[in-house]
Amino acid sequence: MTIRQIIFEATQKLEKAGIPSARLDAEVLLAFLLRCERLAFIKNPDDKISEKQLAAFDRLIERRTGGEPVAYMTGRKAFWSFALEVNPAVLIPRPDTEVIVEEALAVLRQESWRRPRILDIGTGSGAIALALACEVPGASITATDISEAALQTAQKNAAALNVEPIVFLKGDLFEPVEGRFDLIVSNPPYIGADEYQSLPPGVKNFEPEEALRAGQTGLEFYEKLIYQAHGYLTENGWLLLEIGARQKQEVRAIYEAHQDFYERIDVREDYAGLPRVIKGRRR
């Protein structure tokens, strides 16, 4: 069979299984297996692959029809300007999360701190902290997570990227943290109990529950973060939080309940036009 036929058949199998990005996934998985770029298939669609490679590819496609995310199979996910190692101990970084990075950079430009102190709570793969480490030379960055396995993954990603050194700390929210920060960012778990049950199987069955689940309502982490962050922000320091598409009113209300602590509360949308980041500045 030629590459063209192999991709065609795999795409059909994935489509039948209800996988939305069937063709792309088939190409990405074949490129991963053959250790080449997807572009090679466009250039040489009539090339053939060995029986052994074909059998291995069939197994990957089989796993994908069961909903397993492509990123966990390849162990890589593109984020910002780099690729991160990912594994089932970490949430696969989402393109939407790049919006919190953009918003953090906008705040940093506006405040023009010379060597900003930045804290990323619940760093997972390290996505947000590493993007900021790439973009803000001289920043002093701390990243935390409650999961030891996630922190190890983030540390590996940091070592591979050769950016500003990041201090990694393990613990519950602010518990391992000392001192004050000009900017605190977090993409906390924000899925409530009912919503968790209705997540797509590819997310629910494969991504870590502790990266997604936030109590009954999905707001648990916002209540704690907004209340506690005040004690860890410098004067005029900013708290930036990623939110779920339907959480704008509720999370704004939590900031507003602490109006003695925060001013200039504002919401930024993602590129799908959905509310995605909410920020406030310490009074």
Contact segment (CB under 6 A) with ligand SAM among 182-190, 193-201, 225-233, 244-252 equals: 182-190
Strand 82-85, strand 117-121: pairing: unpaired
Give which of ligand SAM, ligand GLN, none residue 203 binds (C-beta under 5 to 8 Å, depending on kind). ligand GLN
Give least dist CB 39 to ligand SAM, A.
Answer: 28
Rounded to whole angstroms, the Cα distance separating 68 from 88 reads: 10
Nearest CB to ligand SAM, comparing residues 69 and 188: 188
Give the shortest CB-121-to-ligand SAM separation in angstroms: 6
Q: Which of 114, 65, 125 is nearest to 89 (CA)?
A: 125
* CA end-to-end span of the chain: 66
Encoded one letter per residue, x for contact with ligand SAM by CB under 6 A and - for no contact, window 81-120 reads ---------xx-x---x-----------------------
Side chain identity, residue 20: P
Among the listed residues 41, 79, 168, 190, the single contact to ligand GLN using CB under 6 A = 190
Q: Which is nearer to ligand GLN, 149 or 159 (CB)?
A: 149
Angle between helices 3-16 and 22-34 (to 10 degrees): 130
CB-facing half-sphere around the CA of 171: CA atoms within 13 A: 10
Q: Which two tokens stand for residue 91?
A: 């949430």
Q: Is residue 123 involved in binding ligand GLN (CB under 6 A)?
A: no
Question: Using the rule CB under 6 A, is 147 a contact of ligand SAM?
Answer: yes
